[in-house]
Chains A and B, each alone.
Chain A
């Protein structure tokens, strides 16, 4: 039994290594996750992440093939060799690192603070002194706000949904809200959001709470492929392709600091 397992693993590794030389199958989640990856009317995959796969592979000198895989089976698909890499907005976590390896991050949406226009504040503990901050309950943002802002802020209010926090921000019951920049960009794009509020800045990073960002998931031990992806990511960041693709989808950079 052990032998067959080892044999299967070796086979998987071999096919993986072989694939790395010709076509690299990049797995994306089969479930749509706009604006990162979704299918258009003709069934073709489009989105920021899909474009970025093309750009990074070109910069890395790899021939890539986008392969949709169900999200809940995406890591087994990688370890079994059905795909060679995961680029499906997968956050780098300690837990996943026990099973698979990650490239450098290729995005990390910043956590931003949004507040009412005309009120002086920024996304620091001093800048939010005496302010009422609203966050969604049991999120990394609540954990972050309670660690960094609870000392100086007047109050940290929790909401079941970010929409309710946004409502109360419009109504002036809270002075600011903290959340993922993509979620808040969508709010600021609405008529009420544009009228009332603006981004006051991104909070200082704390990987222990906010995570390490999103990287390419790879099988353990494939250093060559990992180096290639890291080269590709560095390449698109350096030559401006990254910013060009991002500008098509987001108002500001999502690389994070």
Chain B
């Protein structure tokens, strides 16, 4: 508490409060009630796209990293190629290739158009989710490759000497240590993933960024929706950082002290 009571901190805090008050009173917020439900929906869509694409992407990244770190070349080469292609092309391009490319191939086959899957395939969110998932998998596959390599070989050799089956070595020794080593990196990457989600607004997925553009285009108010958007993204980024800090703190501290 005493830390907070130093003069420069108090002045900075007062300036911050004054700025917020100025924004709240001097800027135009009369559009807010009308668009609030739409914004809530947009935030929800951003959040579930982020959570699902990160989880699915991570599920893909683990085998991708493992294949590159320890797999035979038939697995390592395609995994490396995938990561290189995904990391070497803009995400916007991938989204458009999937939505306007792959997505417009489907309707050419009548049996797809008549199938029960068509009502889902004709929507935009599956392509958005797929593109975000593949992108996250590409980046994290590379992270996990390094993570698997960074686990000391002695640990694995000791486990093998104890007669542990290979799968058990992976799930008990190798993977937990690998993930733990790169947790800070993963937290940062998840924040980056969140900041990539506005790109899906270009394929008609109405997430929070699309809602803010809609407000701007409907009302010709420019700063207010964008400022609110910045606040929303900052709050989400803060939540992600807190979540990863909590995960880092709760698990066992496997890293030997002094390293």
A interface with B by C-beta (< 8 Å): 137-138, 157-160, 164, 167-168, 170-173
Name the B residues within 8 Å of A159 (CB-CB): 204
Give CA–CA (A170, B101) in the complex, Å: 12
| Contact A171–B218 (Cβ < 8 Å) | no
Give CA–CA (A168, B67) in the complex, Å: 38
Give CA–CA (A159, B201) in the complex, Å: 10
Give CA–CA (A138, B215) in the complex, Å: 10
| Contact B204–A168 (Cβ < 8 Å) | yes
Name the A residues within 8 Å of B107 (CB-CB): 170-172
What are 30 inter-chain pairs, A to B, with CB distance below 8 A?
A: A137-B213, A137-B217, A138-B214, A138-B217, A138-B218, A157-B204, A158-B204, A158-B214, A159-B204, A160-B202, A164-B204, A167-B100, A167-B104, A168-B204, A170-B104, A170-B107, A171-B100, A171-B103, A171-B104, A171-B106, A171-B107, A171-B122, A172-B106, A172-B107, A172-B113, A172-B122, A173-B103, A173-B122, A173-B123, A173-B124
B interface with A by C-beta (< 8 Å): 100, 103-104, 106-107, 113, 122-124, 202, 204, 213-214, 217-218
Name the A residues within 8 Å of B103 (CB-CB): 171, 173
Name the A residues within 8 Å of B202 (CB-CB): 160
Give CA–CA (A142, B103) in the complex, Å: 25
Q: How far does the Cβ of A137 sit from chain B's closest Cβ, in whole Å?
A: 6
Give CA–CA (A137, B100) in the complex, Å: 19
SS class, residues of chain B in contact with chain A: helix
Q: How far does the Cβ of A189 sit from chain B's closest Cβ, in whole Å?
A: 20
Q: How far does the Cβ of B128 sit from chain A's closest Cβ, in whole Å?
A: 13
When the two chains form the complex, which single residue of A137, A167, A173 contacts B214, counting CB atoms closer than 8 Å?
A137
Give CA–CA (A203, B124) in the complex, Å: 27
Give CA–CA (A157, B217) in the complex, Å: 15
Residue on A nearest B213 in the bound complex, by CB: A137
A-B interface, 7 closest residue pairs, ranked by CB to CB distance from nearest: A138-B217, A172-B107, A171-B104, A173-B122, A157-B204, A171-B107, A137-B217
Residue on B nearest A170 in the bound complex, by CB: B104
Residue on A nearest B123 in the bound complex, by CB: A173
Residue on B nearest A142 in the bound complex, by CB: B218
Give CA–CA (A171, B102) in the complex, Å: 10
Name the A residues within 8 Å of B106 (CB-CB): 171-172
Give CA–CA (A173, B107) in the complex, Å: 9
Q: How far does the Cβ of A70 sit from chain B's closest Cβ, in whole Å?
A: 25
Give CA–CA (A167, B100) in the complex, Å: 8
Q: How far does the Cβ of A139 sit from chain B's closest Cβ, in whole Å?
A: 10
Q: How far does the Cβ of B219 sit from chain A's closest Cβ, in whole Å?
A: 9
Name the A residues within 8 Å of B218 (CB-CB): 138
Name the A residues within 8 Å of B113 (CB-CB): 172
* Given A137-B217, A171-B103, 16 other A-B residues pairs in contact with their CB atoms under 8 A: A157-B204, A158-B204, A158-B214, A159-B204, A160-B202, A170-B104, A171-B100, A171-B107, A172-B106, A172-B107, A172-B113, A172-B122, A173-B103, A173-B122, A173-B123, A173-B124
